[in-house]
Amino acid sequence: MNEKKGFLYIGGKGTANDTHGIQMGGFNGGGSGYYWNSNYYGGGGGGASDIRLERYSYYDRIIVAGGGGGSGIGGDSSSLYYNKGGSGGGIKGGDGVYQSSNPEYAAYGGTQINPGESGGFNNFRIQADFGYGGSNVCYTCGDPGSGGGGGWFGGAASGYYGFGGAGGSGYVLTLNSFKPDGYVPEREYYLSRASMMNDIQYGNGAIKITILNYAGKDNVIKFRGCSSLGFSFSQLVSFITLPCVI
């Protein structure tokens, strides 16, 4: 019997409270924001939810739902605004809301082939990368930004003024999907007729598994959750819904 191991990573929502200091990103790649005061703050980005086969690394993911970027409060010297974080992907993560007078502090969503880009001013940002969102490190400037969401490629953090962080991208392994150097799953795991949507889940992530009424000797899949003994079943499993975190 050809048994395969699967690992489910459920993304956590980012921190957003009124305590001065770092607002941590959610589990599985969410970037951090910073709370300065009630007029200027940025929340942590949400973590991605994903399914990995055989091993634990980002390079073993076959399905990913991107996490949303953190939201914030801020603006310019005359007005303050609520700046919503970008939704999790999807083919592309959503861009964070920013004020048009300061595009250099904007945050853009992760894509299928690259992490989210920033608006140009990067003094207060750790850049997003494969698997995790960017973080805002404006710890002393008084006008911090928000963290980016985790994902296939993470979303960028915003740079300033409590602008919204960007969402991470989603991913489904198919014949034509992008596969970076070092990617592990091979052709036998390719999926077909797959689709992705943005802006599905609020708060913590979720993974829904639907068990179909078909059993075959080659369809034994074993899942092991964190701190659990795991379980196995001899039915074909269809991964129907893998919501994002926003």
Per-residue pLDDT of the chain (246 residues; tens, 9 = 90+): 467 788 999 999 999 998 999 999 999 999 999 999 988 999 999 999 999 998 889 999 999 999 999 999 986 667 789 999 999 999 999 999 998 888 999 999 999 999 999 988 888 899 999 999 999 998 888 889 999 999 999 999 999 889 999 999 999 999 999 999 999 888 888 988 888 888 777 889 988 887 766 545 444 444 333 333 333 333 333 333 333 333
User: What's the whole-model pTM score?
Assistant: 0.84
- Sheet with strand 171-172: strands edge to edge: 171-172, 61-65, 49-53, 4-9, 221-223, 231-233
Q: List the structure tokens of 135.
A: 């973080």
User: Are the beta carbons of 150 and 25 closer than 8 angstroms?
Assistant: yes
Parent domain of 59: 1-246
205's torsion region: left (phi>0), alpha (psi -120 to 50) or beta?
Answer: beta
- Structural domain count of the chain: 1
In the block, which residue shows the tokens 């929340």? 43
